[in-house]
Amino acid sequence: MQALGTWKGGFETQIADDHAHSVTVDLPIDEGGRSAGPTGLDLALLSLAGCISTTFAVIARKRRLEFQGMGIALESERPEGAPTITRVHGTLRLRTKASLSEVETALRLTVKSCPVGVIFEKAGIPVEVRPLIAPVSTGPA
């Protein structure tokens, strides 16, 4: 795994990995940037959301938990003057016929094993994600 950065001016940097993916990071306008992309801290939260979604899909497949739709919404807390976020909470919305208990188990395993979530855990930043289940329609009766 490799990350490369090229400064573009001001507070803007183009970052790329060794798989030909790239993104621009910048500061918001009110902090002197041009808002040409998310901040590095924004990317950390975005990475967590992506990791939870991907890891949940992997765990669901292994557990034969079928679903037809998934969405995740995370929110971070950063007290004024704090150098970083102190807590993350959110919801995982799932369209499934599975029971709440099955989904909760898969989600608990997900948060515990998601590699980005492990980084948050080691940093002492609690991550709480609760499931919201929407039933799957079985069609007209």
Instruction: Please report which confidence band the pLDDT of residue 132 belongs to, taking 50, 70 and 90 as the band edges.
Output: very high
Residue 35 CB contacts under 8 Å (≥ 6 apart), including other chains: 26, 27, 28, 29
User: What is the set of domains in the chain, with CATH numbers?
Assistant: 66-135 (3.30.300.20)
Angstrom distance (rounded) from CA 17 to CA 7:
15
Instruction: Please report which confidence band the pLDDT of residue 112 belongs to, taking 50, 70 and 90 as the band edges.
Output: very high
